Structure 1
Amino acid sequence: MRISASVMPMVLALAALPQMGWAASPVPAPPDAVETIRLRPGELPAVSLTPELLYRILVAELAAQQGQYDDAAQGLLSLARDTLDPRLAQRAFQMSMSGRNLALALQAAREWARLNPDNPEAVAASLALSASSGQTDGLARTLARRIDSADDKEQAVAQAVGIVSKMTDKRLALDVLDKAVAGVIDTSALAHLALADTAWAAGEPRRALDESYRAQGLAPDSLDAAERILEYGLRIEPREAIRDTYRYLADHPGHRGLQLLLVSRLTGRGQFDEALKLLGDMRRQAPEDFDLLYTEAEVNARAGRYVAAKSLLNEYITIQQQRRRSLAEGASSAQADVSDARLLLVQIAERQDDLAEAIRQLHAIDESSLRFQARTHEAVLYGKLGDLPKARATLDAIKPIDRRERVVIQLTLASIYRGAGRTDQAVDTLKAADLAMPDMPEIKYELGMLLHQQGKTAEFETLMKRVIELDPDDANAYNSLGYTYADTNRNLPEARDLLERALDLDPENPFILDSVGWYLFRTEDYQGALEYLRRSYDQLPAADVAAHLGEALWMLKRPEQARRIWAEGLKADPDNETLKSTLRRLGVSLP
């Protein structure tokens, strides 16, 4: 077997194994001895590094290098069982996880834990994978024993949380954790915080808040408890949560992070004056904390108080520029801070429809990490102003540093042409880019979507299939092709497979949920369609989704609900052709 240069370092490492604990023992232990052997901590099995053993290790590692993780893991797991060496089982576990084969990873983790039962990482991996695969029998008892016997009970609780968090059934996870921490629940604030987080994940916000208060009762100074009381309390008892956060801050005035979290949450609730008052108090306490100027500007911008926001941002920029001049190059974050302020000024200018000012601010950004983003954004704004030659010239002046930037430039140019109604030029741009960079799925995807808009369905489908070949994890490509099949009511079995894959990759994506719902509608599973379409509409109340959701309701004999959804969709987008054609087809007129 010829060994490539890339494998040579691995061969040299393997040659050193005898010095790492591999001894000149002639024969590995028989398989039936596996259950009875228990190595002392730090002890490794006495196994000679024979040519056959070295060959098997090399074969596994070469398989991993070629992306054949299942073959690599199987080979290493077999070696671990033959040699009783936990390092090989650990390596098999790592290969299985790289290949996302959880069933094989569970086998390897169990072997690793059996061969090295005193290794907490091995035991935790085994338990975590058992939990993730739904094998929870005895899990609570095992975790409770580990916590009870641990010298560091807080660490044991944290490990238990990590294991339980892998469980897909969050309510069952809460039940398991409840039993696991029962022995320390009267003394451990961490146990209550863990229960709070697990209850929240299980959809029990009241329990989450109660556990947070119990944690604070055991540890009144706990910042973690205070943060959870604010976060979880805003869902259940917002006034009380805000009040109790102020009380905590009165006793712990130095907790800037919690103060800023409260500012953020007040702003999110539209309580702008209260957020600004808190920021004013913080600035008086720490007048040298110039970052608060930026935060105050953000709150004013969210409130639509653009004059105040711009004044604060310009003051902030002046201060940061002075800092930059007074400090050695690279000694401060002043340049990045100035860029952040200018980006917020860009947002404000765009909201005020002052695109020329937005361009001016973008042009002033000179930080190297943001220069590419700023120039491409400038080009987009020139396109919105209708100055296509200037937009093109701005993009042409960019010197891309890699293929990714080349791709973004071409996608941006195509987007500018499309926004200007010049779809043919957008298509020509992407076709030229696809010829120059034929292995870039992003270009093929955008080109396919444009061709679909032009009614060139066959070309679109060919491109989507090629995107999937190039990037098997591109959920959007599966979704686009699957939806097209469903919408045209053809290739429905293939549409199902495509949409199932898209849903696996991105289960909460509202566009994918809409596609799955529309597929189920096409198969006349109207109740199933309703479930997915409602989930999509809750996240994305767009006219297209409203058209689909309304039609599912219509088929389920719920005309009033359908009319209400359709009316909402028309209000959001009066010219949406999908919705208008749905109403025409069903003979529905709305007031």
Structure 2
Amino acid sequence: MLVRQNRFKDAITEFGIVLKQDPDNHGARFSQSLIFLETEAFKKAATAFNFLIASNQRVEEATYYLAYSLENQDLIEEAILKYQSIPSSAQNFIASQQQATRLLIAQGEFEKAHEALLQSSKGQPQLQIVFITMESRLLLQSDNADRAKKLIDASLNRFPGEIELLFARVLYFDLIGDAQNSEKDLKQIIRIQPDDSRALNHLGYMLATQTSRFEEANALIERAIRISPDDPAIIDSLAWVQYKLGRYETALKNIARAYERFPDPEVASHMGEILWALNRRQDANKIWGQALEQNPNSAIIIEAMERLQSH
């Protein structure tokens, strides 16, 4: 109850009293450790998680959080080793490998990161594909796009037509602004797997935002929405292409559905633009204002507001 009310200091004290009376209450110790993390008391958290590991209690979870505690004390090498020590049978195995890879890439240890993932997925092709897509995404996020492209291309030679790898390459092409090659790979995915709503939506939205091929975009997104009718990203795309086609009232109904399910800045930006097109400018400004309260530096909302309000 104290934790739910964000009374962390009181909760730590309460757990301390419980643990003084019963040092083997591992549930209380684990809960207290998580509060240490929440309050950025990373040294105390590390001590508590080490105690749990030594007591053979919730070892995999405790090791993951111990690594996180060490990382936040700038003990990066130790953190990497802890993340990598989590066994493949653990539920948090892939998450821990991702964190270790992220830290190694941040240090410029590209080969070391790649080799560790290779060793961890040896003889498991599907896990290898998961790790390749993960590694490529982390490389893209860390401004190492060329390395990501080389990794994906080499992997597609090993696993030709593998959808997750093709999608990873789409993300690379999106990043560098190569819409032609993005479209090519997305169409290949759709040929291989015609009911891939993610690819249908991605291609449809790309056509709606970067070309004037709105009818083609609409057809793709409508295919996607039939497959995944409750996906807010696809509902948002549908609303946006309807807006581009001048179907403002229908677009508003759909963007409202998307915003209710997933009120992120991009959806808010789209909703504001659709309201603006319907001459409901006060409502548009209200939506943008609410979104900016949650995301004050949202470039997409600020750009839409400045562009429309200047006319």
- The alignment's TM-score, normalised by the length of structure 1, stands at 0.46
- Alignment partner of 1:474 is 2:196: yes
Q: State the partner residue of 1:309.
A: 45
- Aligned-residue offset at 1:402: 1.5
- Alignment partner of 1:296 is 2:32: yes
Partner of residue 339 from structure 1, selected from 53, 60, 65: 60
Checking the alignment, whether the CA contact within 8 Å between 1:441 and 1:467 is kept in structure 2 is: yes
- Alignment partner of 1:435 is 2:168: no
RMSD: 3.4
d(CA) in 2 for partners of 1:394, 1:513: 39
Checking the alignment, whether the CA contact within 8 Å between 1:372 and 1:398 is kept in structure 2 is: no
Q: State the partner residue of 1:462.
A: 184
Partner of residue 385 from structure 1, selected from 95, 101, 107: 107
Percent of pairs identical after alignment?
Answer: 25
d(CA) in 2 for partners of 1:409, 1:267: 36
Q: State the partner residue of 1:417.
A: 139
Q: State the partner residue of 1:522.
A: 244
Partner of residue 359 from structure 1, selected from 57, 60, 80: 80
Checking the alignment, whether the CA contact within 8 Å between 2:167 and 2:185 is kept in structure 1 is: yes
- Aligned-residue offset at 1:305: 4.3
Partner of residue 297 from structure 2, selected from 563, 574, 581: 574
Could you give the per-residue CA deviations for residues 224-260 of structure 1, whole angstroms, max 9, x where no partner exists?
Answer: xxxxxxxxxxxxxxxxxxxxxxxxxxxxxxxxxxxxx
| CA spacing shift, 1:472–1:526, aligned 2, 3 Å | same
d(CA) in 1 for partners of 2:261, 2:72: 23
d(CA) in 1 for partners of 2:38, 2:134: 28
- Aligned-residue offset at 1:405: 1.8
Partner of residue 448 from structure 1, selected from 170, 193, 205: 170
Which residue type is aligned with residue 363 of structure 1?
Q
Specify the structure having the higher radius of gyration (Cα). Answer: 1
Partner of residue 560 from structure 1, selected from 254, 262, 282: 282
Unaligned runs of 5+ in 1: 1-262, 321-333
Which residue type is aligned with residue 184 of structure 2?
T
Could you give the per-residue CA deviations for residues 311-359 of structure 1, whole angstroms, max 9, x where no partner exists?
Answer: 3212211211xxxxxxxxxxxxx5xx21210112234445666644532
Checking the alignment, whether the CA contact within 8 Å between 1:380 and 1:412 is kept in structure 2 is: no
Partner of residue 129 from structure 2, selected from 407, 411, 420: 407
| CA spacing shift, 1:460–1:368, aligned 2, 3 Å | closer
Could you give the per-residue CA deviations for residues 435-476 of structure 1, whole angstroms, max 9, x where no partner exists?
Answer: 221131101112122213333223222221222333344332
Unaligned runs of 5+ in 2: none
Which structure has the higher relative contact order (CA within 8 Å, separation 6+)?
2
Could you give the per-residue CA deviations for residues 92-138 of structure 1, whole angstroms, max 9, x where no partner exists?
Answer: xxxxxxxxxxxxxxxxxxxxxxxxxxxxxxxxxxxxxxxxxxxxxxx
Which residue type is aligned with residue 270 of structure 1?
N
d(CA) in 1 for partners of 2:195, 2:5: 37
Q: State the partner residue of 1:546.
A: 268
Which residue type is aligned with residue 341 of structure 1?
A
Could you give the per-residue CA deviations for residues 257-289 of structure 1, whole angstroms, max 9, x where no partner exists?
Answer: xxxxxx5xx534434456557756876887644
d(CA) in 1 for partners of 2:224, 2:70: 37
- Aligned-residue offset at 1:582: 3.1
Which residue type is aligned with residue 440 of structure 1?
E
| CA spacing shift, 1:271–1:414, aligned 2, 3 Å | same
| CA spacing shift, 1:389–1:281, aligned 2, 3 Å | same
Checking the alignment, whether the CA contact within 8 Å between 1:485 and 1:491 is kept in structure 2 is: yes
